[in-house]
Amino acid sequence: MTESDLDIEALRAKGSGRLVGNRVLFYESLGSTMDEAGRLAERDEAEGTVVLAERQTRGRGRFDRRWTSPGGAGLLFSVVLRPNSVQLPFVNMAATLAVSSAIAEVTGLSTSIKWPNDVRVGGRKVSGILIETAVESGEPRHAVLGVGINVNLALGRFPEIAETATSLYRETGQHVSRTAVLMAFLDRLDTLYGVVKAGESLTQRWAAQLETLGRSVTVRWGERVVEGQAFDVDDVGNLWVARPDGSSVKLLAGEVTSQV
């Protein structure tokens, strides 16, 4: 696909008058949309501003992993948000639910969420979410929501991720409009973030799409490893795991591997 399938003016027109997507900044190339959105947020850029790049030279996911997406194949963008400390835990839920809903609307594909923030199709990752927050005196100044979606990525060119990742092209067998996917995502995120800002919880809706619950998992943070059966999430999305010794532990977002 060429970059002509990204209709920036249509995206800007669609976002006019709403919070998420009220401003769309498009770059042919950036080091990282996260870094650029963070810089803009520090300069008091308006909440809801979207930083979108055709390609990134230093794109990253969680744990500083490189995000593979050649130009024209995926969606690489970040959103400036300003939640308070109570709303912050629900931003990830809003984002993953918005990705799931957008994919279903545009392609009809069924998705699931791998705790805490990967969206998957057929057991393979199609989208990842990253949130970086600037905190002052215990309260967030801003949060930058980063999203990567594999839209028309040809996985045969990237054997190193072909077993664990997928794309909408791979799953549907046809090219998918990146504009349509992004437009649907921003529309859904605007609605869901509005729910969060109104003080409502997304936990039940999010938990209903979690594929992780009921499975044996291994969660890693650096050298620390916890293994057991994932059985619940709390109100803010932390994972409860029952360990083999009969004890239970509450886990914050970490590196999780599901054992089917």
At 185-243, the pLDDT tens digits run: 999 999 999 999 999 999 999 999 999 999 999 887 667 788 999 999 999 999 999 99
Among 134, 156, 153, 130, which residue's Cα sits nearest to residue 143?
134
Domain residues of the chain, as ranges? 3-207, 216-259
Instruction: Give the global pTM.
Output: 0.91
Assigned architecture for domain 3-207? 2-Layer Sandwich (3.30)
State pLDDT tens for residues 146-191.
999 999 999 888 888 889 999 999 999 999 999 999 999 999 999 9
| pLDDT confidence of residue 188 | 98
DSSP one-letter string for 94-146: HHHHHHHHHHHHHH----EEETTTEEEETTEEEEEEEEEEEEETTEEEEEEEE
Using CA atoms of 52, 53, 56, 62 in order, give the dihedral in degrees to the nearest 10. Answer: 20
Q: For the domain made up of 216-259, give the CATH fold.
A: SH3 type barrels. (2.30.30)
Among 170, 176, 171, 172, which residue's Cα sits nearest to residue 157?
170
Find where tokens 């990830």 sit.
92
Is the bond preceding 116 in cis, omega lying within 30 degrees of 0?
Answer: yes
Does the pLDDT value for residue 258 go beyond 50? Answer: no
Kindly report the average pLDDT of the chain as a whole number: 89
**Residues for the chain: how many in total?**
260
64 and 36 Cβ atoms separated by less than 8 Å: no
Instruction: Check if 3-207 and 216-259 are the same fold.
Output: no
Average pLDDT over residues 93-99: 98
DSSP one-letter string for 148-212: EEESS--GGG-TTTTTTB--HHHHHSS---HHHHHHHHHHHHHHHHHHHHTT---HHHHHTTBSS
Counting Cα atoms < 13 Å in the Cβ hemisphere of 87 gives 21
